[in-house]
Amino acid sequence: MVAFGVVSLLVDFVYEGARSVTGPLLASLGASALTVGVVTGVGEGAALALRLASGPLADRSRRFWTWTIAGYALTIATVPFLGLPGVLWTASALVIAERVGKAVRSPAKDTLLSHATAVTGRGRGFAVHEAMDQVGALLGPLTVAGVLAGTGGAYAPALGVLAVPGAVALVLLLRLRARVPDPAAYERAEAPAPMPRQRATGRPGALGRLPRAFWVYAAFTGTTLTGCATFGVLSYHMIERHLLSAAAVPVLYAAAMGVDALAALSSGWAYDRVGPRVLIVLPVLTAAVPLLAFTRTLPLVVIGALLWGAATGVQESSLRATVADLVPSERRATAYGLFAAVMGAATLVGGILAGALYAFSVPALLIVTIALQGAALLLLGAARPAQRT
């Protein structure tokens, strides 16, 4: 699990370094707030919705390593070229292509990780993995910020340097596959007693085999993410209101990723003790972000961005761990694909909604966000996923 975390650390170094400047990069090419919202929303949506296909395909083929490596390779090959085009639509296409790589790998990667974490506790296992991710997510933006500052704001060298950790990650990933070809052996040998689940029904491979609690839980997730602005829109606000320089934005993003890691570890620890009740904090955090991040007061904007990082940490740890405890292992990649498709659609709508409402009226954006998070809390209560005892 730790070795896999190192790979994720390096890859997060690559793509989080790029994501930290997506808003300013697109703005420098003439993008409006709505365009940034659409591009980042489509990118995040693609990263999640396309798992609707990659999850079942990974389950059917059982070639989890192949899908994982292919997805990492696509991301690593895309990012270094992002600063080169100088054309808005080409840069936008590369932003989306990088996210497609995440869609290719994630269901298979999460399935491999769910097997490995069977012996450590899933909340803790996913949290440690997310924390290691965020070390990379901290180093990548800081590296990009340093190169931007040293080159007078040139994006090409700042993004081109990310090819180095990407190449190292691919080498380590191939070595890890050779050492641990079948991580499922961990779960077969040492899995803890399963949590109560609804009995599977329907023919093998049918969507009906997934329990009702999974679908209600997915509805909760979709609702809360629809009301979550992307960092692209947050950073656009910082630049357009002259609150931060282009070189300072990645530094704030790095700080948000540090908070992400701490939130992931904290929520993962709580998940292993109290179960999915810990997710109550997610809609609360998400509702607070725009209340602070879209003001014109720098300290409040910074706090809002840090809360965005905390919400992301909960999403990437406890939110994913719950799926593994709701769904049998033989359907887990499919479940992760379907779950991510819901997340993707919600993120796409959320990115577009945040960009459009920001351009129209910030108070309207705040009202819509709070209403969505209230609805999400009601859905979480209705889902009532099994609690740990």
pLDDT tens readout for residues 116-147: 666 566 666 666 766 777 788 788 888 988 89
Cβ 257 vs Cβ 16: under 8 Å? yes
Contacts of 229 (CB under 8 A, 6+ apart): 289, 290, 293, 308, 350, 351, 354, 358, 365, 369
Fold of the 2-181+211-383 domain: Growth Hormone; Chain: A; (1.20.1250)
pLDDT tens readout for residues 58-69: 888 888 888 999
Taking alpha carbons only, the member of 348, 360, 325, 336 closest to residue 37 is 348
pLDDT tens readout for residues 144-199: 888 988 888 788 888 889 999 999 999 998 988 888 777 666 555 554 444 444 44
Which letter does DSSP use for residue 200 in this model?
Answer: P
Q: Select the highest-mean-pLDDT range: 46-50, 204-208, 284-288, 335-339.
A: 284-288
User: Scanning the structure block, which residue is given the tokens 């993995």?
Assistant: 129
Q: Phi, psi at residue 179, to the nearest 5°?
A: -80, -35
With residue 206 as reference, give the H or E element that holds it.
none
Q: What is the pTM of this model?
A: 0.65
Q: Tell me, what amino acid is at 169?
A: A
> What's the rounded Cα separation, in Å, for the pair 338 and 270?
25
Which sequence spans correspond to the domains of the chain?
A: 2-181+211-383
Taking alpha carbons only, the member of 65, 62, 63, 75 closest to residue 13 is 75
Contacts of 123 (CB under 8 A, 6+ apart): 267, 268, 269, 270, 271, 272, 317, 318, 321
> What's the rounded Cα separation, in Å, for the pair 324 and 252?
32
